Amino acid sequence: MPDYSAGAAYVDGRYMPVAEASVPIIHWGYRRSDVTYDVVGVWEGNFFRLDDHLRRFRASRAELRMEPKETDEELRAILNRVVALSGLRSAYVSMECLRSVPQPGKPRHPAYVPAYTIAMAIPWVWVAPPEMIERGMHLMISRTPRIPPECVEPRAKNFHWGDLTRAQFEALEVDADFAILPDLAGNVTEGPGFNVFSVTDGVVSTPIRGGLDGITRLSVMELCEEAGLKLEVREIPAQELRDADEIFTCTTAGGLMPASRIDGRILNNDRPGPISRRLLDRFWEKRAEGWHATPVDYSAAAPAETTPA
C-alpha cells in the first residue's frame, strides 16, 4: 500500500506519493520555467473558492497557450482525489501545467511542445507563520523592481521568481521578514506570494497593476464591502505605502497577514492595525461558517483507475 502520509500527487494520469513525483530534467517546464500553476487551500476538510481557482488556472493556461488533456471537471476530481489520498484535513493543493519536450520531427517551438498536468496535496503551508501574523509582518520596499507585465504577465501565475528571490535577499540584509516590490515607475506591486493592501484615513487601497489578481485579494474586497469600508484599486506610490496608517497582505497560504513595520517605521505600536485585525478575524470567522467552501469527498481515496473518469 503506498504511503501518502507526506502528501499525494498526480502526474499526467498517474497517482503516487508526493515523494515519488518528479519532472524529467529535459522538460521545458524545468529547463525554461515554462509552467503555470495555481494553489487552492483546504482548511478543515473544505476547499476554499475552488471554482475561482479553477477559473484562474484556466485563464493562466490560455495566457501561456497551454492545452492539457484534462477538463475542469476532471481536474476538480483529481484535486479532490490527491487530498483524499493524503487524508489531510488542511492542505496546500497545487495544480500545475508545464510543457514537456518537442515531438519527433517537430520544430523546437513551444507551439509544438505538449503540455501536461501535475497536482499535489501536501500539509498546509503558511507563508507567514501564525506567530508572525499575530505580531505583524516586518516589511521593506526593495530596490529590485517587479518584472513588468509587458514582459511576464503576473496575472498568469508562473515560476519567474528571479526578481522576487532577489528582493527577499534584500529583506534579509535589513532584518525584514518580506520584501514588497515596486514597478519601474515606483508604484507598489506585490510581494513573494502575496498581494498588498494599505489603509489610510479609513480607506483601503490595493495596487491595480503589476501583481496577481489574487483569490484571497478578491475575498478581502468582499469583506470590505460587507464591512462598509471604502476600497480603491489604483496605483499606490511606494512612499504612500510607507506613510500608510496600516498595511496588510493576503495569500491562499495564510489568509490575511497584517504588517507592523515598513522600512523600519513602526505602525500601530508595533502591532496589526484595527482595520487589518477586524478583516483578519472576519475572514476566518466566515471560513468557519462555510464561506465559499467545497467539502472534500474523502471516500475518493478508495481504489480507482489511475486516469481521471
**Domain shared by 95 and 146, yes or no:** no
Quick check: is 195 in a domain?
yes
Sign of CA dihedral 223, 226, 228, 230: positive
227 and 282 in contact (C-beta within 8 Å)?
yes
List own/partner pairs for 23-30 with CB under 8 A and 24 or more apart: 23/98, 23/118, 24/100, 24/101, 26/101, 27/98, 27/99, 27/100, 27/101, 28/98, 28/99, 28/100, 28/101, 28/110, 28/113, 29/96, 29/98, 29/99, 29/100, 30/98
CA nearest 295: which of 115, 80, 51, 26? 80
Q: Is residue 286 part of a domain?
A: no
- The grid coordinates listed for 176 are 525584514
List, for residues 200-228, the tens digit of each pLDDT value. Answer: 999 999 999 999 999 999 999 999 999 99
Asked if 119 and 134 sit in the same domain, the reply is no
Helix (H) or strand (E) segment spanning residue 180: strand 178-182
**Looking at the domain assignment, is residue 56 inside a domain?**
yes
Q: Are residues 53 and 148 in the same domain?
A: no
Residue 283 resides in a domain: no
Identify the CA nearest to 244 among candidates 265, 271, 216, 269: 265
1 lies in some domain: no
Tens-digit pLDDT profile for residues 225-246: 999 999 999 999 999 999 999 9
Considering the domain architecture, whether residues 117 and 25 belong to the same structural domain is answered as yes
Answer yes or no: do 144 and 89 share one domain. no
Instruction: Examine residue 279 and state whether it is found in any structural domain, yes or no.
Output: no
CATH of the domain at 79: 3.30.470.10
* In-domain check, residue 226: yes
Residue 109 and residue 149 in one domain: no
Q: How much is the pTM?
A: 0.95
Residues of the chain with pLDDT under 70: 303-309
Are both 112 and 152 inside the same structural domain?
A: no
Q: pLDDT at position 1, please?
A: 84
Residues 6+ apart with CB under 8 A from 177: 128, 132, 137, 138, 139, 171
Render 63-98 in DSSP notation, one character per residue. Answer: HTT---S--HHHHHHHHHHHHHHHT-SSEEEEEEEE
List alpha helices for the chain, DSSP H: 28-31, 50-63, 72-86, 130-135, 162-173, 215-227, 238-242, 274-288
- 83 and 59 in a single domain? The answer is yes
Q: Same structural domain for residues 74 and 154?
A: no
Any bridge partners for residue 195, and if so which? 250
Does 52 share its domain with 183? no
CB atoms within 10 A of CB 157: 24
Which CATH number covers residue 252? 3.20.10.10
SS3 (DSSP) at 185: coil
* Residue from 28, 180, 31, 196 nearest 110 by CA: 28
In a domain, 281, yes or no: no
How many domains does the chain contain in total? 2
Question: Which among 82, 93, 102, 49 is positioned nearest to 215, based on CA atoms?
Answer: 49
87 and 204 fall within a common domain: no
Q: Range of 217's domain?
A: 130-272
59, 173: one domain? no
